[in-house]
Amino acid sequence: MSAIIEGPYMERTLVVLLEDKPGTLSHVVNLFRRRNFNIESLTVGHSETPGISRLTVVVLGDNDRIEQIIKQLRRLVNVTKVSDISDDAAVIREMTMIKVHCKPGTRSEIHDLANIYRAQIIDVALESMIIEITGTQDKVDSLIDLLRPFGIKEISRTGSMGMVRGLSGITNG
């Protein structure tokens, strides 16, 4: 891991592999709560290994606090591996759905914005459209900012998911 020089509190992306059993996710989240960490985003789903889930959690903290939470996560019985991928060559993305108000006169403008961002229009109704975008947090935020003047009705974001580039990774060392 490279040296962190960007300030005392930084956004860190942790990948946690844990047993897919009832209560395991609750134990992990409670650990963050007890240590007074605010979770910026959390995504969890099945991994390529049966019975193992992959949790991606983004938190803010200084080096010492992040190191401490990683050590405590590794002590949990149902956690099999913890990795901080923040400084690794990694692909980090999120998926977002945005429901935006539209009138017949603004549909083409919204459609053009979606195309610029390589987003998909996944639903069209009389007075709204749902746009799906996948990308970095900055890319998603940028599209949201451009859609605000049209009137955003709803936003649903997955939170960040990450994977280390190349053949070696979290699960296969």
pLDDT at residue 171, as a whole number:
58
Instruction: Output the six-digit token pair for 114.
Output: 């979606």
What phi and psi, each to the nearest 5 degrees, are found at residue 64? Answer: -65, -45
Q: How confident is the model at residue 170, as a pLDDT?
A: 65
**Given this model, what pLDDT does residue 104 score?**
86
Which one, of 84, 19, 3, lies nearest residue 52 by Cα?
Answer: 19
* pLDDT by 10s per residue, the chain, length 173: 334 444 577 889 999 999 999 999 999 999 999 988 889 999 999 999 999 999 999 999 888 889 999 999 999 989 999 999 998 889 999 999 999 999 989 999 999 999 999 999 999 999 999 999 999 999 999 999 999 999 999 999 998 999 998 876 665 55
DSSP assignment of 17-58 equals EEE--TTHHHHHHHHHHHTTPPEEEEEEEE-SSTTEEEEEEE
Q: Distance of alpha carbon 107 from its chain centroid, rounded?
A: 29
Four-residue CA torsion sign, 133, 136, 137, 143: negative
